[in-house]
Structure 1
């Protein structure tokens, strides 16, 4: 979820504009049943771009598949990135490639880091993770710990053996509550969130959609900005605001395109020969974020919340459309 009103991404760097940037896999470790971590470094040994807790990278795999993974390593190590990858049997092949084919010494293309889930200042944090959703929270806990800020992690999963990085988290002692479903049942979200609602803590949540939906139901009356979430899959959207075609003017390119009812703004722009970086094409990664100069976007992404959409000066053109007859974009 983007924290600033002008909808600019929190972080960009030289990787964003070079899809042929490559990193080498320097380590591949099993961190739980079904989860491996990859450690990545530049082949030439040079520094990697800086990043902050909550950031993710695009991995462009040798199979041609692009996937987004949260950075879960040490942000103060300038030479390596670490990501955690869950094997998803019902996925589209990216995680299977990482688990079964990708090996130490192989190279992968990289985009980012980008950060749609920044850790904002607070006197206290409650972190809630479900399964692989632990990955963006690991560097957040390290950052809070470094700054001497009080925090607690509630971490759920199917079984203890399926929950990644548990051994690493043990170093934090009783600030980490491990709650496998086969041992304790579903997370007691009402109790945890009721306690957090009464103070000035910020709550960060990442995990599967059922967990996020359950948290949202508990927090419908919370003030804007207190609850912050990141989704790995698109949130279910209502029908588009309009079904008729609309025009999109690309101000810097002096080109106007027509977006059909069944086409995306991204496709129309790229078909006109204007290059826009994109990755997920689902409205979850933020790669295709574009500034809106005029018109009213129909935001259909899973990044901005309702309050952020009201004042957003951008849109994610892989999924978002238009409420007005015409949009003007800074492209």
Structure 2
């Protein structure tokens, strides 16, 4: 669908929020906390931005964009070129970071990672459920939505010493319920390690901006992919992605980011030992072994795909 930019607001240093509406004034499809939009940025970049507006507002979608100084150009194009009245192609609304029921919600956000978290916080607050938020950044002027969050009824802790140096004992040790976290890789890795030590890995739900790097001996080995419908076997070289090999072999595959963050290319798996490197599937979904993201994930020896 095409959506029109109706408002652009400076929320913090290098962060703008963008409000989108239907050009015809129609209601927009409903969405749930943690969802994101897949947007074609000015016909040059396909990017994913978390929805961070009001769930009850069916006339608008809101996103926030950080100008990435070392990025690939998508955020800089938005900051430099996007204007009120412009039309954007929105491919879909998707949600790989779903808010599930819990007796208590412990939210952790680092920097621009607040964007999927804020809709969760506001929804839980509206329901009257108990929650707390630890929100970290380099300094307060870099952090979007601080005043909006502090106006809510829960416990909000603002940490201005940087997301990578959170005192994890204070964030996690006494945390009941579930922890939902989004932010820099270093912060999420540290949270995951701390949760593992505490025996509470199953109580941590994260969303990453980038998939984990492919490391280890198994990741460097070629493997075979079998197309179940035709029996065709495709050999995937060590330095080539399964997705690219499928496309080269003429398979019709949906894809978008090629980085393991959007979930567009997910395929079913009938058989095989998988090496997951995406930032989409939960630990429970990985353990099931019946799906993978071929843009970044691999297999050991041989995998049979439900294609």
Does TM, normalized by the shorter one, top 0.5? yes
1:93-148 CA-partner distances (Å, limit 9, x unpaired): 01101111111111222232211111111011111111111011111112211222
Is residue 261 of structure 1 aligned with residue 234 of structure 2?
no
Equivalence for 2:91: 111
223-232 or 44-53, which moves further after superposition?
44-53
Cα shift at 1:324: 3.0
Q: Please tell me the root mean square deviation across aligned C-alpha atoms, in Å.
A: 2.3
Is the Cα–Cα contact under 8 Å of residues 130 and 157 in structure 1 kept in the other structure? yes
Is residue 312 of structure 1 aligned with residue 292 of structure 2?
no
Is residue 216 of structure 1 aligned with residue 187 of structure 2?
no
The 1:77/1:250 distance shift into structure 2, 3 A limit, reads farther
1:54 aligns with one of 34, 41, 47 = 34
The aligned runs of 1:25-64 (5 Å cut-off) are 25-64=5-44
The runs of 4+ residues in structure 1 deviating greater than 4 Å are 252-256
Q: What is the alpha-carbon distance in structure 2 between the residues aligned to residue 49 and residue 248 of structure 1? A: 37
316-325 or 219-228, which moves further after superposition?
219-228
Equivalence for 1:3: none
Secondary structure at 1:215 match in 2: helix
Q: What is the alpha-carbon distance in structure 2 between the residues aligned to residue 295 and residue 284 of structure 1? A: 22
2:50 aligns with one of 65, 70, 73 = 70
Equivalence for 2:166: 187
Cα shift at 1:317: 0.9
Cα shift at 1:215: 1.5
Is the Cα–Cα contact under 8 Å of residues 71 and 136 in structure 1 kept in the other structure? yes
The aligned runs of 1:114-193 (5 Å cut-off) are 114-173=94-153, 175-181=155-161, 186-193=165-172
Is the Cα–Cα contact under 8 Å of residues 192 and 201 in structure 2 kept in the other structure? no
Q: What is the alpha-carbon distance in structure 1 between the residues aligned to residue 230 and residue 218 of structure 2? A: 27
The 1:238/1:119 distance shift into structure 2, 3 A limit, reads same
Is the Cα–Cα contact under 8 Å of residues 240 and 321 in structure 1 kept in the other structure? no
Structure 2 gaps, min length 5: none
Equivalence for 1:5: none
Q: Which has the higher contact order (CA 8 A, sep 6+)?
A: 1
- What is the TM-score of this pair, normalised by structure 1? 0.85
Secondary structure at 2:301 match in 1: coil
Q: What is the alpha-carbon distance in structure 1 between the residues aligned to residue 62 and residue 85 of structure 2? A: 15
- What is the TM-score of this pair, normalised by structure 2? 0.91
